[in-house]
Amino acid sequence: MKKIFLYSGVLLSMLSLVSCDESFNNWAELKTNEAATNGAYGLNFAASGVDVDMSSVTIPDSVDLVKVTKASDEVQSVIVKTVTLNGFDVTKYCVIKDATARMSTKQLDSLATVSLKSQKCEKRALDVDATAAAVLQDGTAVQVVGKVTQNETPIPTPEVDSKGYYLLGDVNGNGWTPNRPVMMTETAAGSNVYKATVTTNGNSNWFKFYGASTLKGVDGSATTWDDANQSQYGCAINGDEAKFNFVTWGDAVQTAVIAGSGTWIVTFDANNWTYSVSSPVLYLAGDCNGWKQTEPFASADGSNFWGFAYLNNNGFKFCSEKSWDGTNYGAGFSTAGNADNISLPEGNDEGFYKIVLNLDAKTLELTPITTIGIIGDATPNGWDASTPMTYSKADGAWVINDAQLKDGELKFRANDGWDINWGGTPDALTQGGANMKVAAGTYDIKLYA
């Protein structure tokens, strides 16, 4: 009787063996196939022309985010229908009056911060895309799209603490004791990004960040709450369990929460004034897998990750969560909401790859896996050569059917070499693991990487 082996989860060393606007009654007649760009039909899209500076004493309450003007009599009427900011639909946050979409400056600042995932105090050139619907003099309804740029600068952020940052709270068993800080480590000299690996034991584990300049005595052993509270940072909503969040300071500081017990990587970004809490796992999402976070990547330290995936030339990203709600890394390891996708290097073809990345050094290594096979005295070619498997995109697995095996041992290896090979047990494959014993028989084998 033929036996079916399904090998799964090589990546994480796991294996399984189983068998609001004004309406017009003609908009419904809009001919979207007649969509045109800025300037068509004499319609022009204009920005506010106001550089919004949130720290200015003369900041306006609101600005015309986009305004559509008519340069000819060809158009009878026009109305703005949709507005996006850095790719995010913000139509519901606009007050739309005919050909003008207006937004409050506070709302603009908030949406810019969310879309860019940054509070960095610098002038930001925001991409505003709008769709307008127009009725021509002959009664034809048409659609026109346009793009403008809105400049905006958020409020100043605190000075970066030259001595770094530390955590206090329900982490590492230290508790809320100011003279027992959990120090964070800067990822690289001058990066202003700090990390700490922490453990939690409860369901709700409360914590805050503190500037290390407040520490007193050796290793902070003389620090009091009066010292620590001079430079404390948190979140906007008390008890917020968000895995990615914006840092607050001053009177707005509330206490953040890590939900659940386990080991976590806490990152404090003093460039963008954000923080994140993540398991030491990343997920790849791209055109290759339907933009779903289905390909996990393992790490021992939260910085160096490795794994395997089938990639094509249509882009991918790495995500800290099994959704788009966490920190997402695009081209150049940018975490901005509108970051470009990562692409295969020029000359690399679609195929299966070993992927190694370092978040701190911002490096990405791709090793093509052209073959995977079984090898060992239980296989047809013994230990002299691999018996090749075939990659199935439909199954997302390397497959060999009707393999005639003998009593003996086997392993998996890539590229007909030993640099990449797996062994161990059906529920725990590891790189360089032990040979696996099998009984003689005819097998269908699938290796899920």
- pLDDT score, position 5: 57
Q: Determine contact, residues 243/260, Cβ cutoff 8 Å.
A: no
Can you name the CATH fold of 281-369? Immunoglobulin-like (2.60.40)
* Mean pLDDT value of segment 4-30: 38
What DSSP string describes 18-78? -------TTGGG--GGG-EETTGGGEEEE-----EETT-TT--SEEEEEEEEE-STTEEEE
- pLDDT score, position 1: 52
Q: Determine contact, residues 147/128, Cβ cutoff 8 Å.
A: yes
Q: What is the pLDDT of residues 51-108, one digit of tens each?
A: 999 999 999 999 999 999 988 888 999 999 999 999 999 999 999 999 999 999 999 9
Q: What are the residues whose beta carbons fall under 8 Å from the beta carbon of 75, sequence distance 6 or more?
A: 41, 42, 43, 134, 135, 136, 137
- pLDDT score, position 17: 27
- The span from the CA of 371 to the CA of 351, in Å, is 10
Q: Quick check: 416 pLDDT over 90? A: yes
CATH 2.60.40.3620 residue ranges for the chain: 165-272, 281-369
Per DSSP, 175 falls in state B
In terms of Cβ atoms closer than 10 Å to its own Cβ (0-12, 13-18, 19+), residue 413 is buried
Q: How far is CA 143 from CA 12, 65, 75, 85, 291, in A?
A: 50, 19, 12, 19, 29
**Residues of the chain with pLDDT > 90: what percent?**
76
Q: Quick check: 433 pLDDT over 80? A: yes
Q: What are the residues whose beta carbons fall under 8 Å from the beta carbon of 368, sequence distance 6 or more?
A: 348, 349, 351, 352, 353
Q: By C-alpha distance, which of 51, 82, 40 is closest to 152? A: 51
Q: Quick check: 25 pLDDT over 80? A: no
Domain 165-272 has CATH 2.60.40.3620: yes
The confidence band for 262, taking pLDDT boundaries of 50, 70 and 90, is confident
CATH 2.60.40.3640 residue ranges for the chain: 31-153
Residue 290 Rama label (left phi>0; alpha psi -120 to 50; beta): left
Q: Quick check: 14 pLDDT over 50? A: no
Q: Quick check: 13 pLDDT over 80? A: no
Q: Quick check: 153 pLDDT over 60? A: yes
Q: What is the pLDDT of residues 328-362, one digit of tens each?
A: 999 999 998 889 999 999 889 999 999 999 998 99
Enumerate the β-bridge partners of residue 4: 444
- pLDDT score, position 404: 95
- The span from the CA of 44 to the CA of 428, in Å, is 62
- pLDDT score, position 326: 84
* Mean pLDDT value of segment 309-320: 95
Q: What are the residues whose beta carbons fall under 8 Å from the beta carbon of 350, sequence distance 6 or more?
A: 310, 311, 312, 313, 344
CATH class of the domain defined by 3-17+370-447: mainly beta
Q: By C-alpha distance, which of 343, 287, 294 is closest to 323? A: 294
- Residue appearing with tokens 């089938």: 310
The confidence band for 206, taking pLDDT boundaries of 50, 70 and 90, is very high
Q: Quick check: 8 pLDDT over 80? A: no
CATH class of the domain defined by 31-153: mainly beta
* Mean pLDDT value of segment 388-399: 91
- pLDDT score, position 26: 42
Q: Quick check: 379 pLDDT over 70? A: yes
- pLDDT score, position 15: 30
Q: Which residue has the higher pLDDT, 282 or 425?
A: 282
- pLDDT score, position 24: 37
Q: Determine contact, residues 194/157, Cβ cutoff 8 Å.
A: no
Q: Quick check: 192 pLDDT over 50? A: yes
Look up residue 224 and give its amino acid. Answer: T
- pLDDT score, position 33: 35
